[in-house]
A and B are shown apart, each in its own frame.
Chain A
Amino acid sequence: MEHKTVDARGRSCPEPVVLTKQALDKLTEGRITVLVDAEVAKENVSRYARNLGFSVEIKDRGASEYEILITKE
């Protein structure tokens, strides 16, 4: 299974979502991890993926960094 990591830390709106979109567009199966370091990016990326019907799992890495696991089923 593919597993790509997208580093969207420090990016301003809407770049985290655009980077996620580009990675998901290339994905045929498997999952991607998106790294973010802001609440708003975490909300936007997970809302975007959920709206598309992906399953989303968020891991808090501390210091307001999050790993968002997006799985294509």
Chain B
Amino acid sequence: MNDRKGIILTGTVIGILAASLVKFGNPLNMGICVACFIRDIAGAIGLHRAGVVQYIRPEILGFILGSFIIASLTGEFRSNGGSSPIIRFVLGMFVMIGALVFLGCPLRMVLRLAGGDLNAMVGILGFIAGILIGTQFIKKGFTLGRSYIQNPVNGYILPAIALILLVFLVTKPGFIFFSEKGPGAAHAPIIVSLAAGLLVGILAQRSRICMAGGIRDLYLIKDPHLVLGFVSIFIFALLFNFIFGYFNPGFENQPIAHNDGLWNFLGMLLVGFGSVLLGGCPLRQTILAGEGNTDSAITFLGMLVGAGIAHNFSLAASPKGVPLNGKIAVIAGIVVIALIGLLNTYCSLKANRRGEVSHGA
């Protein structure tokens, strides 16, 4: 299923499920959002205390477990890692901060547009800009170095954490926080969310769908393969938003969004830039983590910690706008990622000239 049909089917299913999950109770234009949902999980386990965004989102657990199950069945599950884990952690953190200033991961960006939120168009322009910048580094020789095969136990850790979180979600122990109001309290029934997450996890693992990869490949190697997934999500989410009556075009008063164009642009620029250097968007990182890629598991943990920081340090935006701290963090993130990119590319080229193999030094 690695052909064109697979990627279009995956995009179609994600688009339809995303609109339907809103019908079942998820927040508007947020049927699925990898960044927002990881942020809710960070809140549920007390990494931040923003009371309105705390819930163990079964969709995320489904992505990890669906990918784990299908990769195990097809023999593709393989524990590997060691490709600059600490850099990936930091990139994951900043990708999350950028997403929480825009208020959505690249997937929710497309869903927001499909719901008529025109601020998402500004986000898409920023996302494309970030991808184009990141791609220049790749062209010049940026690499996080190669990964190596690891003992399989490494690859089981994140799926095991997902299972434990699922148990906490069902048993609701006292130390887990659940929002009583706000977006965190808006959710579909557990079984519906989990089933949707598992299905998306399976399809995304098979089709390799990636929001950042779509635009990157279109530019870098003129290959529209992955971007077809991006387009299918948009078309089908749009269609089902029309059917359910969720389509509401405009810039003002959009659900869980602000209309500060500059920071919508720069927030998503940070997400695109970081995602390209990581080799994939937050959804893709989550799927890779499920199939045994421990570098992506570290990236996932970086995103989780980034979400905690974003709320504890008042970086995250809200419908009221972007706090000053958030603006500073986005600029700092762009500078830090550019520095990582420059230094890494320089060191890799130097190692190549000496005839050494660079391992992401």
Contact = CB atoms under 8 A, between A and B. Distances in A.
A12 B221 contact: no
Interface string A19-63: 001000000000000000111100100011001000000000000
Interface stretch (B44-52, B136-144, B161-169, B245-253): B136-144
Nearest to B139: A18
A11 B78 CA distance: 14
A15 B80 contact: no
B76 A12 contact: no
B112 interface: no
Q: How would you classify the secondary structure of chain B's contact residues: helix, strand, loop or mixed?
A: loop
Interface residues of A, number: 19
B148 A10 contact: yes
B172 interface: no
A73 to B, nearest CB: 20
Contacts of B144: 12
Interface residues of B, number: 27
B3 to A, nearest CB: 9
B221 A64 contact: no
Q: Which of B145, B220, B221, B225 has the most CB of A within 10 A?
A: B221
Interface in B124-140: 138-139
B208 interface: yes
A19 B17 CA distance: 37
B221 A17 contact: yes
Contact of A48 (B149, B223, B280): B223
Nearest to B78: A64
A51 B279 CA distance: 22
B286 interface: no
Interface of B: 2, 76, 78, 80, 83, 138-139, 143-149, 208, 210, 213, 216-217, 220-221, 223, 225, 278-280, 295
18 contacts: A10-B83, A10-B148, A11-B147, A12-B147, A13-B210, A13-B279, A14-B213, A14-B217, A14-B221, A17-B220, A17-B221, A18-B138, A21-B221, A39-B76, A43-B2, A48-B223, A51-B223, A64-B76
